[in-house]
Structures are given as C-alpha cells and as structure tokens.
Structure 1
Amino acid sequence: MSDPYQSKNQSVLSSGPSLKIGVSQDGIYRIRYEDLVSQGLLNQAEPSSRINLYGNKAGMLPFFNTPDIPDDLSPLPILMQDGGDGMFGPGDYFLFFGQSPHVWTYDSSYGFLHQTNYYSDTTYYFVSAHSESAIRVGSTSNASQSDLRISTSIEHVHHESDLSNICNGSVHWMGERFSSSGQSQTVTLSTPNPANTHRNNAKILIQTAAQTNNGTASFTIDAAGTSMKISHTRATGSNESSLCTDMQSIQRELSVSSSQLPLSFSFQKSQAAGNGFIDFISLSYERQLSVQNQALFFRNPEALNRKASFSLQAGEGLIVWDITNVYHIQEFPLTRNGNSYSFTAPADSILHEYAAFYPNNAQSPSFAGLQSAQNLHGAANIDYILVTHPVFLEYAKQIADMHRERNGYSVLVATTDQVYNEFSSGSKDPSAIRMLAKHLWDKSDSLHRPRYLLLFGAASYDYKGTLGQLTDFVPTFESFFNLQEGGGTPVEDNFAYLEDLEGFSPAESNGRGSMDIAVGRLPVRNSSDAEAVVEKIDIYSHPEYLYDSRNPNLPGNFGDWRNEIAFVSDDGFESRLETSILRNDWPSTMIPEFHVNKLYSDAYERTTSSTSNRVPGLESNIRTSIEEGSLFIGYYGHSGWDAWSDERILSIDIINQLNESYSFPIMSSSSCTFGYFDYINRPSAAELLVLRPHSGAIAILTTTRTANTGSIEDIIQAFVQKLTDKSSGKVSTIGDAYLYGKKHHASAVYKFVLLGDPGLKAAIPQYTVQTLRINGQDIASSEPDTLKALSPITIEGIITDNQGQLLDNFNGTLITKIYDKKTTETTLGNYNPQDRRQNEKVSYQTQNSLLFQGYSEVEDGRFSVSFIVPKDIQYNYGNGKIEYYAYSNTTDANGCFEDIVVGGFNSEAILDTMPPVVDLYINKNNYITGTVGESPYLYAEISDHFGINTTGTGIGHNMTLVIDEDFSNPIVVNNLFRYNPGSYTEGTLSYPLNLERGEHTAQLKVWNINNISTTESITFRIGESDEPEIFEIRAVPNPARNDYVDIYFNHNGYGGGIERCEVNIFNLQGLRVTRFDYEVGDISGYSIGPIRWDMTRSNGGGLQSGMYIAHIRAHHADGSISHKTVKIIIVR
C-alpha cells in the first residue's frame, strides 16, 4: 500500500482522463461497467487490474500543516466483481466505501463529536483505467474467541440546517429561525432499531442561539417526555443599539424507544426585537445490530482495548468490512447461526468502524464528469502561483503571460477545480490552495520558492451557494470566533502559512505562524470585472505606454504622478500614526524624493445639513489625487464598507463617478470594514476601487472588519518604506512591500488584506536624478546660489543608477519642480458631531508653494534647466526643495535636492513692463469661433519673456479661469499650466469644460513673474453631441455677378477632420444643375474654403439669374458625413 502522506512529484491524475464521482453520505456504492462507458471513460472491456479508485479520507483538510495531510490522491480499495475472467466488461461492477463530507470523531471524554464540512456537501472520488497497481479490499481473520459479546452499536444522528448566516461573514450558519415569542417548531430525528437495554440509552446535545437587545430569550424543548430549557442573555459589553447574538447549549441523557424522536422547540423573548435559532442537534443512542436493506455502519466503545465478538441480525449474502482505515479496508469472515452473523475483532486502542451490507443493495454515486489529465504536482521552481475560477481562466492566462514576459517569473496557473482535484480529493476546500503553495514551497530550495499567490476571483462566506447563486469563486478562510455582524473574518494570511504546523483555525482570533509568501486577491465577479483588471495591470506594467499630462487620454505609465504620495486623515486624530504624520512628518523625512500631499479633514471647511456633514474641498482633492495620479494614497481614520469617514470623503458614489485615468494609485485604508470583500452581492468600496475600469486603484491594502488600526498603521509605514526603497537596484513589487509590512508587524493584523496583484512591480522610478551644479557652482564643493526673487537660475545634473554611476544611455524628458520653503499649517478645530466636541487644533508642515515647473531634455544622462525665480516668494531665508522626475521610452528616475536656500530679492533684476501673451482656443490651436461638440476643453498658449507666475503665494496673483462671467467663483488653474520642453517662457494650459449645451464664455487671467497680468476671453457654443457638424457656411460674393462664387464654412473638428467635400447645386424646383468634388489639403483645420463654383451647368452651359441651393456633403476621416446648405443668388 502506498503512503498517502509522502510527498509526490507526479499526480495520479497525470496518467490520463479520469471520471469524477461524488457521494453525500456514508454508504457502499456500486459502479458498473456500463456507467464508465456512458460517462466516456471506457469504450471497451479493460483488464480489471487497470480499474482503480482514487481519493482520500473525507472531511475538511486540517487547518494546520500537520503531517497527516495526504499530498495527492491515494488509491482506495475496491471490491471487484468481474465474473472471474480478469476483464472489466459488460455486466461487471465494483463496490467501494464512500464517506460523507461531514465526519464524526470519538473522544473518550466527550463521546462522539460531529464536524460539519464548511465548504462542501459532497465527497469526491476519481475512477481511473490507467493504473496497473490497483488495490482491492483485503481479507482478515477472526481473532480468537472473546468473552465480550456485542450486539449493539452507538448510533449517531446529527441535525444541522444551514439556512442563514447571521454574521454576514462567518463559517457559522444557523438553522431554523424563531422570530416571535411563543413560536414553536418540531424537529424529528430518525432513530431506527433502538436497543431497549436500559432506560437512558441516549445522549443529546442541543445548541441554540438568540439575538437580543438588552433583553433575554429562552428555548423550552420537549424530547419524548424529557423537558429541557436553554436560556439566553444579551452579549456583555455590546452596543446597546444593536442586536447581539448569544449561543448556549445543553446536554442530557434520555430514552429512545421508537424509530423517530420528535423534538418540540418553543421560543420566548422579553422584547419585540430579536430572533432565535436552532444551531444543531447531536444525538447518540444505542442501536441494535440489525441489518435491513441499507448498509449499517456501526461501532461500540466497549470494544476499545478488548477483543470483541460482534453479533448481527441479517439475511443471506451479508458482507462486513472493517472501514476504520479507508486506505486499508478488510473483509471479515462471518460465522452464521440462522439469521445471526458474527465475527471477532482483535483488541485495539483505536475505536474501529464497521460496515455491514448486502452487495445487491449498493447505492449509485453521482457523476461529475470526465476530467482531463492534469499534474500540478509536476510543477517546480515556481515564482508566481495564480489560482483562478475556471470562468476567468482566459483572463488569468493573460496576467500570467504579462508576468512571464515583463518580469521573468515562472508562473503556474491553476483553476480551483484542478487544485481541489489534486489536493482535496475534488471537494471545495480553501486549504487545498494552501497545500498547493506548500507543496511547491517544500520541494524547492530557498532560492526558487514561490513568492506570490494571486487569487483571481471574488470570495464570499456562502461557500456552498446556500443563498441560491455562485458568489464564492475562489474561497477565503472564514472564521467564527465572534457572532456579531461582521464578526467572522476572512483570513487570507492562512494561504501564506507554509511551514510545518502553521495555520489558522476558524475558532481562533489569530493565526499560528508567519507569512511566507505574498497573497493578493482580485475580487472579480464577472467577465467585465476580469477584463477591467487585466487591462489595468497591462497599462500599469507596460513600459512602452508614455504618459503625457497635457493629453490625459493617452494611456500612461510614465509620468510625474509617480512622484506623488498622499496621506488622508479623518478628523479627531485619535491614532498614533495620524499624530506621527502630522507632527513628526516621517514621510517627508523617510522619502524626501517624493512629494507628500497632506489631506487632513480638519484642515477643510465642513458643510452641515439636516442629513449629513460633508467636506467638499477634501472630497475634491482626494478625487484629484486618484484621477490625476499618485504613486500611493493612504487613509487613516473611521470608515464603513462603503465610505471613508462619517463625512463620506471617498464613497462608492464618488468611486462610480471617477473619470477615466491611466495613472492608477496604490491605496491603503487603515480603518474598519472598507474592504469587506466577502459579503454577498455587495461589493465594498475597496473592491470597486480595484475593479473600476480605466480608473480607481491598481491595488489597495485594506481592512475587512472592525480592527485596531494601530498595528495596521505600523504595517503601512513599513510598506511605504519598503515600496520606495531602491537601494538594491530593483523595484519592489506590491507583494514584497506588503509581506515586509506583515512580517515585521504581525500582531493581530489578519483583518488586513491586499486586494491587488502581489507580483506587480510598483510604479517606482528605478533610477536617481542627481544635482551637480547650480549657476555653475559645484554643489559638492561649495554652497549653491540662493534662489532670490527674479534671479536667473540654471541647474545641471545627471541620471544615475543605484551605485551613483552615470547612465549615459538615458535619453528622455526631465520634469523639474522648484518649491519654496515649508510652511506651517494649522487644522481648523471643527466641531466633531460624533465626539460632541471641537477637534483639537494641530499644526503641521507642508511644502506646496511651487515656484517653477519645467520640462527639459535629458541627453546621454545629462540635463540642464533654466528659469527665473518668480517675484512672489516668501522673502525670509530658508531651505526650499528641488524635485525631479525623468523618463525615457523604457525607464524612469526621480530625485530631490533640499540644500537650496530660497529668499531675498535680486537687486540687479531687470524689471519687466510687458504683460504675458495669451491665445485661447477650444480643443485645438486652429479653432475657429463657433459650435463645438459636447465635452470640449479650453486650450491656451501662454508666453512671457521672463516666465509665468504659478506660485499661488501672492495675493491675487493666481492664474484664474472664469466661466460665463461668474466672477465670484474664479477657478484657480496654476497647476494646469505646463512649460514647453526646454523653455521657461512659453507653455500651454488645458482645462476640460463640463458645461451644458448652448453659448458660453471663458476668461483666463495670467500673471508673469513680475506680477503683470493679462486677460483674454473666448466665446463658443456647445452643440448636442460629439458628432461632426458644419456651421457658419457662406457664399462670397452673394449675390454673385461675376464668373464664380466661393463657398466657405467652419466645422467642429470631430470625425477626424474633413478630407473631401461633395458639392451639389440645385434650382428651386429641386433639379440638380451640377455636381463636383473638392479635395481638402490640410484636414487638421476647422475652416474649409474657398470651394470655387464657376456658376455653370454640368455640361458647361450658363445659368439664368435666380436663386440656387448649394448642398455640401463633407466626408470626414473616420468615415462619418456631415451636411449643410447655403442659398446663392445669381444676377446676370
């Protein structure tokens, strides 16, 4: 017999197709030759020796990595009935013992204990016709005569109806519900052939639950004359406004004397609110060893450590198997005396289980279909494991291919069915996924072990589809240690506990072990979700997508958004890390090369209504951080499953309205329940951020339930530190940083999960930008010039690797941002309605005053940047900051320089008296005033001899946009201005116009660095759609007296421009007098003409005086067509 626990490198399923069969209860099952033919496994008779059954002992896999977990399917013994010819053919069959997925164990102190399988109601087996080493039911001999004679069995009966999950997230389901006081229900247990050997021949265990609200409840139970009562009180210390669950049990001895035991339950409660539930009923009673039609499974603890002679009442043809060890089943020879059959079993310290049955009464299993050959056991040296539900397999393969091609990973893609088949005998069990990872971990050396596990599919607490539909695609590990709503917690960490004896029990509040691999989940529920996340991963990881902030519709990976990090905090500041960020400013100290945006709720004005409190300014800034791009956005504070903070500063409504963007941030939520990903058909806000197509987050680290955020905050700090660390010369993956944070702060953080691809490399600039000289002075040997107002500055520098060596093959673009000194801000101390007090006023520092932002070329790893310091600076002296971001076609770099003094005034400055020049357009710089389609944008070309002021520090010197003369609400657009590459005198601005149809005006006011302004306006009309449109058509001269007339018109630019015009001239009777074509040379413009007509017919003849209609049919580049007519009067 093979050892089921020995590690294997090849699955038994690799040899060829197999037939998957299922059973739902203990029984002796028959499979006929005809069954295997109809299911497609056989098409002709085969040697009986090749027919084999594979599986393992029933029940859930152990929650811990114990040595008794089978590594693969094991051969199981069968009783072959082939007529003795050695061939399995027509009329032949075999028998096997099939187990219920719900198992019983015996404990000498507690008796028989039932364990419901949380994940599956079916045990599966596999029939193969490819084995030459099939095993069969063995035979054993009777032990010598025994004085202990047994004619009864301890039968066990269990009732448990999983009807509702009152936690909305737990492995623990409840059965029959009682909603009103005085309500009664009866549960009847089947108790055939009770042995009336003594009065109390049975033990019963009943467990009930009650939800109460500062009240009490109770169940009164009558069991065949035995009365019991279970009392419930409200859970201690729970919220008085909510229903809380109390679970109690009772155990009694009673008498069972008939084939049925009715149990009558009556529920009472002291308050109107609340419900009662039957959790389970377990009964053990003494049963006569009498075999009827169905197989009898029996055992008796009296036989422990003693030889025992068992006597059964049965008919002709009885067979008895010892089924204690399912891998080694043996048949006992029977001694018959009339209708009594007996056998003698040897003494053993293990309680043995037996099956007595008639072969002709064997049951038929269910058939789950032919399974293709598979061999996950044969995989080796795997970096990245991707487990997907079969419906998402094609999308999972795309992710795998991306990782192979772009990261060089060795990737194993496995469907959940494949994993279950090899590691949990075909039954659904999340531990099978862990065992796959452990198998690959154990067989590899330390340099080739798996690093990442991606679970590709949504999970829910409804493992079995009890609520009627598939919501659990790739399961998680649910717990049940708390029965309040959301008290059960999905524990993804358990997939990463790969060392021996590590694991997580649903009954515990924390795992035993340390995470060995990074685990992430993409909670896709349908093909649209899957397609969206695959496309986001493709864009995020693709090195050839270039980002252009002036063209936000271009898919982007590279861009200065990779230099942006935002920290968002709720008001109240009750957490350690909020205080740390505010007062100690660790992000700016730890990662100075990144620009840190501090978005603190109490720093914004709050609006209050009768129904809600909102912080609109913060909402807008969070949305901007997501849409315009940030490397990382972290939140600290309160949250629910659908929003950050009581003020809902980031909610599902906002997420669903996010504009399309291609610079997806990594996000974190150090809060409660924001990532409640296992709820039935209610995606959490965290999930929607990841699943949002073309927008939202690329990944989010988030809590699944109410949590103590202190440890989570430590994880976030460690995560950011690891994520941004480039000292190794390699870019960290999201999973590496997540695992680093988890392993270094492992206490009570199982509620913190990664929704995202753990193997995805973060959008961290790989290389470093270094400053060499400022105004010709080497910064390494001398103090650089002070940046004084109106002083000309030239900065020179290089791009280096992590060793500081010049990258002379780096050619691309550098974005340089110069910031003024840090400023001290103070929160407002808004009234906090939750705490019924004013928030504490807290001071913190920011460095957001932008003096200059410019683009310049990097050639052979070297660059030079020139500009003039604006007049609007803080004139006191202090350290400013230079931030760099550079990108080429294939890679990028960032860096900073903080030892630069800003302050004072350049007394030798040439004072400018000329205002800047502003040219306004709609959509393009060749726009002709008129109608545009919906969703246009304002485009401005701006220039000045000395530079444009975008600092935002001078009072009244912001660059502002006024729409439709609404001068009381000017829009500050400093951050939208971009200098042209290599210039500090010319640049552009783009602003999307989300306006209703009709006529509008836009007025832009611009200041130069000498604080001289100019204002320009434009008038335009928004049409009904983005469809091509012709307008302002005219004929010149009109009336026409000469030999020709010229036709001109404008169009809105949609449809890719006009390539050709078809001109038809009609008289007033509707008859066409001529037709001709006009080819457009430059299709990029908005104005067409002159289209000259010589005022003749098609045959060249002249036309009489009168009115004619010219019909223009314009053909656009995208194939669309637009029309317009103009009247022409001819005077002869």
Structure 2
Amino acid sequence: AFTGSLKSYVLFLEKNTLKPVIMTPALANQDLHSSEPAEMIIVTHPLFRNYADRIAQVHYGNSGLTSQVVTPDEIYNEFSGGIRDLVAIRNFLRMKYLKQAGTDHPLKYLLLLGDGSYENRTLPPLNPNFIPTYQSQNSNIVVSSFTSDDFFGLLEDGEGEAEGTEDIGIGRLPVSDTAQAGIMLRKISRYLGSSNTGDWKNNICIIADDEDGNTHINDAEGLSKILEDSVPSMNIKKIYLDAFRQVTTVNGQSYPDVTAAINEQVSSGALIINYVGHGSENGLAHERVVKTEDIKSWSNFHRLPLFITATCEFSRFDDMDINIITKEMTGRPSAGEMVLLSATGGGIALMSTTRVVYSAPNYYLNRNIFDFAFDRDTLGEALRLGDIMRLAKNNSGSGTNKRNFSLLGDPALRLAYPWHGNVVTDSVNHVLVSEGTDTLKALSRVTISGHIENMRGETLNDFTGTVSPIVFDKTKTIKTLANDGGQPYSFKLRNNILFSGKTTAAGGKFRFSFIVPRDIDYSYGPGKISYYASNNGQDLNGYFNDIIVGGFAQVSESDKSGPKISLYMNDTLFRNGGITDKDPKILAIIEDKGGINTTGTGIGHDLVAYLDNDNNNSFVLNNYFENDIDNYMKGKVVYGLSDLTGGQHSVTLKAWDNFNNSSVETIHFVVETDGRFILKDLLNYPNPVQNETKITAGHNRPEKLMDITITIYDLSGRAVRIIRTTEITSGYQLSPIIWDGKSEEGSRVGKGIYIYRISVVTPDGEKASASGRIIIL
C-alpha cells in the first residue's frame, strides 16, 4: 500500500546466506596494554615459547633483566584485529616503549625467537616464517634490496623503512625447530655461566680478503689500530689472505693455509672473529676460505666468539627453497645461520649481512662496532650486544647499507670480555717497573711479579685463583705476496711467544719465572706481557708493554739434552697401538729443565707434529703448548685431528728446549670408522699376579657414560668375582679397574689361570665385550 515513503526490498535464497563463524578455540582473555613493564620483549612462535621463557629466566638470574614473552598472534589480537601484520608488532613495541619511557625500567631490547622468510603471506608449516620479516619496497632489485629487523625498533614519530634511528637493541635467533631452540638456550646459558673462562677471551682475530687494491687489508689494519689503542689488553690475531701462498686447483684458486689458520683460531678461541671482504651465503672469499663443511667441523662449544662479517649475504636468514609441486617452502640455511645454530660450536652471535653490501659503509659500521664494543653505560656496566649494534648503526649516517646488517643473536648478551678488574705488573727481575725494567735477553732467567686490582685500582687482597701470562717477543713486519697482482702490503704482527703458562695468585699477588728462548730476535724492541686471571667464575685481564726484548745473556749452564716427551692420544691412559675414532686429539706432555721453545722464530725449531711420518702433513703446535701451573719446565700440548681415514696411523712429535736441543717421539694408533662399539687391547698388569692387578681395555667411544662389568671365571666356568663400576671416559682407554685377587666371599682365590670378561653398556644401548687371562701366583 502507498505509505508516502520509499521502501527497499531484498530478494535472496536462504541457502545462499552467510553463516556466522564461531571462533574455535575461543580467544583467551588477554591485555597486553596493561602488561607489566619489561626491559626486554621476546616475540616467539608458540612452538618455542618454553625456550623463550627459559631464556628470560637465565637473564633474570644472571643480571636481573626483566623480560616479557609474547607470541605474534597475541600481538595481532590487540594491534591488528587478528590479521597477520608485522606493523602490529612494531605498534605493540611502540606502546611499551612510550609507556616505559622515563621510568627506572625503560624498554631496551627485542629478541625475535624464530626464523623468518621473505614470503610473509604463507604460514608454517608450509613456510618457516615463524616471525615475519620486513622487506624493502625494492625487494626485487638486488643492489637496493634489504630485509631488516630494525623496522621493529624505529619507534619515534616519522620513522619507518630505512629512515630514523633505532630506539631499542634488536636481535633474532632464526630457529626452525625445537632442537635449534634448545641449542641456543644451551649456548646462552653457558656463555653467561661462571664456567665460561679462559685466556681465549683476550684474543680478537681480524681476517682480510685479498685483491681490490688492498682495500680489505687496509680496512683490517684500520680496525686493528682502533683495538690496539682502545683495548691494548687484547691480542690481535691477523689472518690476511694475501700474506699466504695461493694455490691453483681444478676448482680455481684457494688458500688452504688460510682455511687451516681460521679453523685453528676457532678451535683455540677468540672473543671476536671479524672478517672483511667478499662473501656469500655459502662462505667467505672467492677462494672459499670458510665453507659450510668447515663450519660443520668446528668443535668450540666452550669458546664461542662473536662473529662480525663485513661481507655480502653471509647470514641471509630469510631465504628458502620452494617445492614447485607441493608449494612447500623449506629454509635454506646460510653459512651465518650454520655458525649460530651449530650444536658443537660456531659462534654465540653474529653481526652479519643479509643482502649485498659495500666496502666503504661496511668499514664505517665495523669501526663503530669496535668503538662501542668495549664501552660501559652510565652505571658502569658493559654494553650488551643489542646496545653495541644499535649505537653503531645510529652513528653510521643515513643510507640502507647498514640495514643489511643484522644481529643474529641474543641482544641482551654482554661480550664475555674479562671486565672485573686488572692484572698489574709490579717488578721484572726484582726491579720495580716504576724504576725501570730489565731487558729480556736470550737464555736469561726472568722472574716477574704483580698484583690483581679492581676497576678502582684497589688491590684485591682476597683474590685466590690463577693468572695466565703470555710473554710475546717484538712485533715483526710481514709483507703480503700480491698473489693477484697489485702492490705488496706491509703490516706488523706480534705472534712469537716467549712463554705461556699459569701461576697461582694468593692474596691478590702472583709471581712466575721462565727462561727466554735462544731463538728470539736479538734486535732490541718492546715486547708485551698479556695476562688473564680467574677466580670463582670472575675473570679479569691486563697487559704490560714497557718491556724490552733483545740481546743474548752469557750463561755458564751447559744443556745438551733434549726435552722428555710423553705422547698419547686423548688422555694419558692411551697405549701405543690403541684405537681411536676419526677425530682424536694429540696429547703430549713435554718437560725440560731449560723450558720449551715455542717462539716460532728459529728456522726448523718449531714445536711440530707429523701425521703418518709425512713432512707435508705437519702441524705447528707452538701456540698450543701451555706450561703447567707454577712450572716453566713442564707443560702439555692438546691438538685435535679430524676426519682421519680408517686403519693404522702414527703421529710423530718433535720438540726443542730453549737451548735448542731437540727430541722426537712417535705413537701409533688405529682409527675405527665402521661405527661398531668395540673393546680391544685388553691388559691387566701386573700379570702374573701376587697381590692385585689392574684391568683396562681400549675402546672407540670417548666421552661416553659407560656401565662396566668385569667377571672373573675359574677354568671350570664358575664366576668367582663380579666387579661393577660406571665412568665417563675422557679418551679411548678404560680407567684401570683393580681386582684384589679375592672371591665374592672375600677369601683369596687359589693359584692358577683365570679368565676375565669385560662387558660395557652405554646409555644408547650399545654393548661390547672382550676376554683375557690372569695368572695367580
């Protein structure tokens, strides 16, 4: 009917109507806006939440740092209407940042626990994009593309994409499964723990690529100069490619000695390893001086460095492979990710690149990293990795090059630099250093004393621990080889060691003595003493460079005998001809009343080992020798071999004393590679037995927990005694197990021949057994 007003009608079929969606499961109540203040936000996928909680606990227990753990979905629920949007994560952080600004606990750090992908639309499990990534607008143009977690930390008005300064320190742990999350938890926990000690923390290694008009070596020398001036307590190890012999192979040019030097440096330890030059997702330098195979072989879990790589794409964490049929995406691990996520070692963190970068702005940022790496905050605390990276970038000008550098690691970690005080030299040969120092002459006996003090210069009278001094000869000039044309480059290197040992510190004071080797550079010049000290998990360091090395002392003592060498594989239980796995360790105990020569100066006088009597397969061990505590006349070498072929091998070691007398010792061993758990080379000694005998055997399961049973039988097959024990073997030999010649009842067994059987079971269920004979007198 006519009503005088316009009416509208809608015709529809009921079957075509939309039905409301009921959320399953229902969203739990949450209120991030009212959450408690936290100094660090950990954004993690639910798969890794337990590990994020434990990382937060580790930091709180270590330094009182407070953290809040949150998932991306929880953030999306409040900041983007439930839609997956990385801007929501930044908006959440901005809310926290503004609310906590000006308080006693401002927001300082963001840890992203989860891998990312350049393809943000597809979700796990089809895509390992656990935490979304920011991709630049020119992401399809190689030279201008960047991906950067910096986006989450640009929290002031008007900031975004590449513009602005970071307001918080940001790091990512690009884990793809719970195993990798567990690896990072263990690394962080140990790095922050009291057992993380050692004089490797005094080392920084600078690696420089060749070619390009010596640009990379020049940059490396600039970085070295910054470190020498700002932290003279550190020892700079230089591995410059063009200073080594280049080798031509069917695969192109290579530097095998550089690869060996880098692997040895990783093994022996460094606080920081810094590379400058060309690189890719697969390794470092065109000559591939570091390959993924090398990274997999690293076993340095107790000496984890921070890696800085000023090179292209080494840590491109957002790359992936796509199955064209299933459309499933799998993460393609870059070399940098492999370094970080290695279960056996690698690095604790990387300040590394995700895309193409350029040398000039690289150096600018790298220089700034070192400018801030050893700074302290207003409370006197060491800066954390997130602070160092944030300040370095904020002081590196504008441009997108710096956005291609990411911190892959925990931003709340502090470098394991020995911050707790200083080791100070008081006297040299009983003359106070304030009154002048004696010259260290070849073959002279030197005594050095000193004390331990806190950062305020007060002697720590309650310090009781160890001091590890290393006495260096003068620097020497090295000239590069111009392997690829161009001009040779000269640089200074200090790597000749006069003495390396340990001495006891009591009441905050210490003293040590040694004999200066004959093989020094007799010209006069400044040497250096480097110190590392530790006491109940607290460590500190120091240096002294007002000391002259040179000349020759006239001594009446005549030493014509070479050092005594005791050679083993892995531990001192090893017997000549025993078995090992494919990665055994050389263990040599060397002693001589004149001390051991490790200077590396005298031609042919290196401490050296040869594998299988092959002079071309040798290892210089000067830097691996360490004197026993309070004893310059005795020490040991531990050096790891790797990937040996199965079968019989030998190691020959040659050592020189400081008077240039030498000795040689050889040991034989058999590498078992078939994977079976075996026992062999049974031994009981003495045999025949009058009172008691010690029973042992070789095996191929080092560092394994073992349940060991020894059963003694008489010739009728009756078990007269059963001995059970459990041990974790450090090497390839069971610790000797004593049988006192008595039965289970405690009475002495009769004279005659007895059969003993050793049975061993590991927690993995592996079993091995072997039998031998004992004669009772």
Q: One fold, TM greater than 0.5?
A: yes
| 2:712 corresponds to 1:712 | no
Aligned to 1:1005: 654
Deviation string for 1:226-270 (max 9, x for gaps)?
xxxxxxxxxxxxxxxxxxxxxxxxxxxxxxxxxxxxxxxxxxxxx
Post-superposition offset of 1:340:
8.4
The answer to whether the aligner puts 1:569 opposite 2:211 as a matched pair is: no
Letter in 2 for 1:754: L
Corresponding position: 1:658 with 2:298: yes
Residue number in structure 2 paired with 1:798: 451
Separation in 2, partners of 1:525, 1:903 = 56
Match of 2:428 among 768, 774, 779: 774
**Aligned residue for 1:760?**
413
Higher strand proportion (structure 1 or 2): 1
SS across alignment from 2:58: helix
Q: Distance in 1 between matches of 2:775 and 2:442?
A: 62
Match of 2:441 among 788, 795, 811: 788
Q: Give the distance between the partners of 1:401 and 1:736, measured in 2 at CA.
A: 20
- Aligned residue for 2:100, secondary structure, equals coil
Aligned to 1:703, which of 350, 353, 356?
353
Higher mean C-alpha displacement, 841-850 vs 856-865: 856-865
What is the RMSD computed on CA atoms of the aligned residues?
3.6
The structural deviation recorded for 1:609 is 2.3
Alpha-carbon distance, 1:1035 to partner:
11
SS of aligned partner of 2:387: helix
> 1:956 corresponds to which letter in structure 2?
G
1:1063 Cα shift? Answer: 2.3
Counterpart in the other structure of 1:440: 96
Matching residue of 2:698: 1052
Give per-residue Cα distances to partners, 1:829-848, cap 9 Å, x unaligned.
Answer: 012xxxxxx14311111101
Partner AA of 1:673 in structure 2? E
1:795 offset after TM fit, Å?
1.6
What is the Cα deviation at residue 595 of structure 1? 0.7
Is 2:208–2:220's contact at 8 Å kept on the other side of the alignment? Answer: no
Counterpart of 2:183 in structure 1 is: 532
**For residue 633 of structure 1, what is the aligned residue in structure 2?**
273
Q: Which residue of 2 aligns with 1:383?
A: 39
Equivalent-residue separation in structure 2 for 1:1082 and 1:909 (angstroms): 54
Instruction: Tell me: CA distance 1:572–1:666, structure 2 relative to 1, closer, same or farther (3 Å).
Output: same
Closer, same or farther: CA 799–602 of 1 in aligned 2, 3 Å:
same
Alignment correspondent of 2:114: 457
Instruction: Measure the CA separation in 2 of the matches of 1:1035 and 1:502.
Output: 77
Number of the residue aligned with 2:132:
475
Which structure 2 residues correspond to residues 141-180 of structure 1 after superposition, within 5 A?
none
Deviations 1:437-494, CA, capped at 9 Å, x for gaps: 2111111233421111111111112112189813211112111225335753212211
Q: More displaced, 374-383 or 988-997?
A: 988-997
Tell me the residue number matched to 1:687.
Answer: 337
- The residue type paired with residue 474 of structure 1 is I
Q: Is the 8 A contact 1:1058 1:1114 kept in 2?
A: no
Shift of 1:359: 14
1:241-256 paired onto structure 2 within 5 Å = none
Q: CA deviation at 1:725?
A: 3.2
Matched, 1:419 2:75: yes
Structure 1 letter corresponding to 2:422: T
- Give the alignment of 1:926-945 within 5 angstroms: 926-934=573-581, 935-945=583-593
Give, in whole Å, the separation in 1 of the partners of 2:73 and 2:386.
25
The 2-side partners of 1:852 and 1:473 are apart by 51
TM-superposed deviation, 1:398: 0.9
2:216–2:277: 8 Å Cα contact kept in structure 1?
no
Q: Matches of 1:1101 and 1:753 in 2, distance apart?
A: 74
The whole-number CA distance in structure 2 between the counterparts of 1:1034 and 1:581 is 58
Q: Residues 495 and 575 (structure 1 numbering): CA distance in 2 closer, same or farther, change over 3 Å?
A: farther
Q: Distance in 2 between matches of 1:818 and 1:1044?
A: 52
Q: Using the TM superposition, give the Cα deviation of residue 916 of structure 1 relative to its aligned residue in structure 2, in angstroms.
A: 1.7
The TM-score, its normalising length taken from structure 2, stands at 0.88
- Paired with 1:695 and 1:414, the residues of 2 have a C-alpha distance of 29
Whole-angstrom distance in 1 between the partners of 2:150 and 2:774: 76
1:993 and 1:517, CA in 2 relative to 1: closer, same or farther beyond 3 A?
Answer: closer
Distance 2:422 2:13 in 1: 77
Residue of structure 2 aligned with 1:1018, choices 662, 667, 676: 667
Which residue of the other structure, out of 806, 809, 818, is the alignment partner of 2:471? 818
Work out the CA distance in 1 between the residues paired with 2:83 and 2:462. 55
Q: Secondary structure at the match of 2:350?
A: strand
Q: Determine if contact 1:931/1:1020 at 8 Å carries over to the other structure.
A: yes
Structure 2: segments with no counterpart, 5+ residues: 321-330, 728-732
Moved more, 518-527 or 637-646: 637-646
Does the CA contact (< 8 Å) of 1:770 and 1:797 recur in 2? Answer: yes
Query: What is the CA–CA distance in structure 1 between the aligned matches of 2:656 and 2:200, rounded to whole Å?
Result: 26
| Distance apart, 1:540 and its partner CA | 0.8
Equivalent residue runs for 1:180-195 within 5 Å: none
Q: Output the amino acid matched with 1:442.
A: L
Q: Counterpart in 2 of 1:243?
A: none
Give, in whole Å, the separation in 2 of the partners of 1:1101 and 1:559.
Answer: 54
In structure 1, the partner of 2:385 is 734
For 2:599, give the aligned amino acid. Answer: T
- Name the % identity: 31
Distance (Å, rounded) in 2 between the aligned partners of 1:986 and 1:852: 12
1:754-775 C-alpha deviation (Å, 9 max, x unpaired): 1111101111111222212222
Larger Rg, first or second structure (1 or 2): 1
Return the offset for 1:1093.
9.8
TM-score, scaled relative to structure 1: 0.61
Contact 2:220 2:276 in 1 (8 A): no
How far did 1:1017 drift? 2.4
* Paired residue secondary structure (2:332): coil
Equivalent position amino acid for 1:818 in 2: V
Deviations 1:100-153 (A, max 9, x none): xxxxxxxxxxxxxxxxxxxxxxxxxxxxxxxxxxxxxxxxxxxxxxxxxxxxxx
Q: What letter is aligned with 1:1123?
A: A
Rounded Cα–Cα distance in structure 1 between residues aligned with 2:452 and 2:257: 38
* Closer/same/farther in 2, CA of residues 1082 and 795 from structure 1, 3 Å limit: farther
Cα distance in 2 for partners of 1:1045, 1:897 equals 57
Amino acid at match of 1:843: S
Structure 1 contact 822–846 (Cα < 8 Å) conserved:
yes
Alignment length (residue pairs): 743
Find out whether 1:828 has 2:467 as its counterpart.
Answer: no
Superposition deviation, residue 873 in structure 1: 0.5
Secondary structure in structure 2 of the residue aligned to 1:433: helix
C-alpha spacing 1:773/1:1049, structure 2 compared with 1 (3 Å): closer
2:635 alignment partner, one of 972, 980, 987: 987
Q: Hey, which of these two has a bigger chunk of helix by percent? A: 2
Q: Which residue type is aligned with residue 185 of structure 2?
A: V
- Contact preservation (8 Å) 2:444, 2:553: yes
CA distance, structure 1, for counterparts of residue 48 and residue 706 of structure 2: 41
1:669 aligns with 2:288: no
Q: Is the 8 A contact 2:208 2:216 kept in 1?
A: no
2:565 aligned residue (906, 918, 937): 918
| Structure 1 residue 417 displacement after superposition | 1.0
Alpha-carbon spacing, 1:1074–1:473, altered in 2? closer, same or farther (3 Å): closer
2:506 and 2:167 mapped to 1: Cα distance? 44
**Counterpart residue number, 1:268:** none
CA distance in structure 2 between the partners assigned to 1:754 and 1:789 by the alignment? 47
CA contact (8 A) 2:281 2:314 kept: yes
Does the 8 Å CA contact 1:726/1:802 hold for their aligned counterparts? no
Aligned equivalent of 1:807: 460
Quick one: which amino acid aligns to residue 952 of structure 1? Answer: G
SS of equivalent residue, structure 1 residue 367: coil
CA–CA distance in structure 1, aligned partners of residues 595 and 269 of structure 2: 27
- Matched position secondary structure for 1:585: helix
- In the other structure, the counterpart of 1:491 is 148
Matches within 5 A, 1:163-242: none
